[in-house]
Amino acid sequence: MVGTTTYSKSLSGAWRSLKDIHAHREMLGLLVRRDLKARYKDSALGFVWTLIRPLTQLAIYYVVIGKFLSAERGIPDFAVYIFTGLSAYSLFSEIVGGSTASIVGNAGLIKKVYLPREVFPLASVGSALFNFGIQLVILLAATIAVGQPPLTIEILYAIPSLLVILAFGTALGLLLSAANVYLRDIQYLVEVMLLIMLWASPVVYSWEMVKNFAGDGLLLEIYTNNPMTLAVLGFQRAFWVGGHDAVAYPEDLLLRLVIAFAVGVVLLFGFQRVFARLQGNFAQEL
């Protein structure tokens, strides 16, 4: 009895939060625009800066890892491969990193005005998505430039991959943004975790290399079922046409993505409840 009432109560709580956010969607849009506009205001290059970082990363990885360490062997169109993974990874890292800082960064507002506080992490998700969109355009241009445009049915892999990143990123973002209010160490911890995530997913090397190293065991399963790995692999299936027959992919990638998404949604629900519980004291803790 008790179990069902708390269950339905938290369900209706989540529904209420959702409605509240929906009512503020216009403001959410404005907050996203504020973040984007304010970030590069007064800089001469403006939005170009959002591209310079991933492009530099791309160049470094391509030269150092691809050429010097010869990781590009067996990976055709290595630059496209890296940029695909990097786009997926930077979406995730921007969502998590941006959300974590969002509540503390908007302290002035939170202390003085009532708003559904979820809008601040969500605004970070929005601006991360915008940057991801720009990177995607460049990625598509690059695939056309190398003569391998992603015009296969496999492009549909992009959808579940994107959903997995969004679900996990938003869920973690909500949790960490709330936790960061109480313990500012979180934001430094997140930076470290994100660095680990970059190397724990097949962005600059191939999944096959991990398989060859770890063998078909529990270790490989753990590595593969990391949602970031799945999403990166999914993106590679979608946009990196040159490598479709050249490298191995884990079996049932689509199924794994769907399961990961389902897990992500459950986490999103759970962490939203945690967020709702913690947000009552935001104004006094900030």
Residue ranges that bind other proteins, judged by CB under 8 A: 24, 26-27, 30-31, 34, 37-38, 41-42, 108-115, 183-185, 280-281, 283-284
CA distances from 157 to 120, 144, 149, 233 (A): 29, 19, 15, 9
State which residue, 116 or 264, has the beta carbon closest to other proteins.
Answer: 116
Distance in Å from the first CA to the final CA of the chain? 38
Q: Which is nearer to other proteins, 35 or 77 (CB)?
A: 35
Structure tokens at 23: 């009512």
Closest approach, Cβ 240 to other proteins, in A, equals: 38
Considering the complex, what minimum distance in angstroms separates the CB of residue 165 from other proteins? Answer: 28
Query: Nearer to other proteins by C-beta: 188 or 199?
Result: 188
How many alpha carbons fall within 13 Å on the CB side of residue 238? 24
Q: How far apart are CA 127 and CA 261, in angstroms?
A: 21
Handedness of CA 82, 242, 250, 262 (dihedral sign): positive
By the 8 A CB rule, do 231 and 253 touch? Answer: no
Q: Closest approach of Cβ 27 to other proteins, in Å?
A: 4
Look up residue 223 and give its two tokens.
């590595």
Tokens of 237: 């299936």
Q: Which is nearer to other proteins, 122 or 167 (CB)?
A: 122
Minimal distance, residue 46 CB to other proteins, in Å: 12
Q: How far apart are CA 54 and CA 86, in angstroms?
A: 7
If the CB atoms of residues 189 and 198 are measured against other proteins, the closer one turns out to be: 189
Decide whether 5 or 284 has the Cβ nearer to other proteins: 284
CB of 132 to other proteins, least distance (A): 23
Closer to other proteins at the Cβ: 23 or 145? 23
In whole angstroms, what is the distance from residue 39 CA to residue 51 CA? 13
DSSP-H helix ranges across 183-217: 185-199, 207-214
Q: For residue 36, which of 28, 272, 118, 63 has the smallest C-alpha distance?
A: 28
Residue 198: CB minimum distance to other proteins, A: 24
Of the candidates 101, 93, 164, the residue with the CA atom closest to the CA atom of residue 131? 93
Burial of 68 (0-12, 13-18, 19+ CB in 10 A): exposed
CB of 182 to other proteins, least distance (A): 9
